[in-house]
Amino acid sequence: MKKLLSVLVICSLMTVLFGVGATTASASTGDKYILVNYDSGKGLTTNCDNIQQNDLVLNNNQTWHIVEKGTTCDNRKYYTIENYASGKVMGVENSSTARYANVQQECYTGCDNQLWFIDYCETKDFAAYYHIENKNSGKLLSVAAPYGAEGSNVQQYENCNYRDQLWAILSLEDH
C-alpha cells in the first residue's frame, strides 16, 4: 500500500506541475505509459540496452508506448512495448525460452521474443495489475532478486503468481 501511495502521489504531482494525468489503463495503441511493479513500487526503466527497475522519476527512460501488433487464433492480442527515449522495443535476449533470461531493448524485427500478451490479473490498492507474458516463451516479465532493490534486473520467469510478476500500467495523458 505504501508503494502504491508513492506512485499516486507522484502522479498527482504530475497533474499539478505539468498538466499531465496518470490513470490506470489497459493497453491502448500508441499511448504513453509507465509500468510499475507491484512488489517494489519501482518503474520499468531502460539502462543502456538493459531493462531494470528504478525509483520513479518519470523520465523518458521510464516511458513506454504499447502498440498492438496482432491477434492470435484464440483472440489474444499481442503488443510491442517500445521505450519512448530510445525507440527500441522490449525483447527477451537471444529469443531465449529459459527461466531467468534477460529482458533488454532491441531494434524491432517482428520476432516473437519482442511481442507480449498483457493480461489483466487483479485490482489491488486501487490499481489494476497485469501479467506481461512473452509470446515466444510463455514466461512472464519478472524482477530478479533482490526484488525491491534499486536497479534490480528484469527477466522472464514462469508464472508462479509471484508479486514481482504483477505490473500496473499507468497511462500518461494530457488534460
Domain residue ranges in the chain: 2-174
CATH topology for the 2-174 domain:
Trefoil (Acidic Fibroblast Growth Factor, subunit A) (2.80.10)
Helix (H) or strand (E) holding 18: helix 2-18
Cis peptide before 146 (omega within 30 of 0): yes
The predicted model gives 124-140 an average pLDDT of 96
The predicted model gives 72-97 an average pLDDT of 98
Model pLDDT, residue 102: 99
Whether 26 has a pLDDT exceeding 80, the answer reads no
Burial 86-110 (b: 16+ CB within 10 A, else e): eebbbbbbeebeeeebbbbbbeeee
Return the percent helix, strand and coil in the chain, to nearest 5: 15, 45, 40
Whether 1 has a pLDDT exceeding 60, the answer reads no
pTM recorded for the entire structure = 0.84
The predicted model gives 6-13 an average pLDDT of 44
